[in-house]
Structure 1
Amino acid sequence: MSRETESRMVGDFLASLPSGPAALVVEGEAGIGKTTVWLAALERAEGVGYRVLSARATPAEPVLAYSSLAALLAPLDDSAFAELPQPQRLAIDRVLMRVSADGPVTDQRAVGAAFASVVERLAAHSPVLVAIDDL
């Protein structure tokens, strides 16, 4: 597939998002330029007004619980989390290492619900692109 075709597909994808949730997966052999396409998509999305949450996962990810999620959420200011219910806020604060992880294990359901709530709140103001590069 040519870069021109890939660029057109990214443009079509970005144009479709305001009408509802969608997914675009860029896959292929190592070294063919998937990350280049991903970076171009992020830049293009930001250029047309999307709120971009991005992370680059690494093979060490399973050992570093929630590190990609933390990368997605870290750039947001506290107002993005202000209206979360207390259990969800605590879960996000733990993911972002803002509070001690002492006590019970962080509830994965609370983490997932909090992330979904944050994305929904952001999407109420502008389209949101959640972009993860699986290195």
Structure 2
Amino acid sequence: MPFDAQEIFANLAEKEKIKGHHSPEGRAIRVLSRAVSGWSSADLSPRDVIVLCDQAVEDWLKARLQRSPWSAQPLPALMVDAINKNLITRMEAVRLEKVRNGRARSDDEAQISNVEVESALEFCIELIEKHW
């Protein structure tokens, strides 16, 4: 199925109206919907979108695991705790690690394909929506 940013953004905006944006999920979806919007309008680079995906999920995990937003706990440790509390599965952690790896190598924008960006966006949105 092709990536339809406008449809995804409209769907997220409607859900945000209904469910609000004050929960950890709502805050993460708000960031991700802005990433979709920026990506579809070419205002954000592949690196920008990957960073937003990674940060939105990290912030969501910190909130759900009741960690301080300023906690220096690295994402891999957060993912282990999230798996133990059944927030995410091991397979989801593997996918999140791929997003994190994309962020780590994002200094070379040519290495981040459009398909990789769109896949990361869709995955992160689906992950958060499961809990919203």
TM-score, normalised with respect to structure 2: 0.37
Rg larger in structure: 1
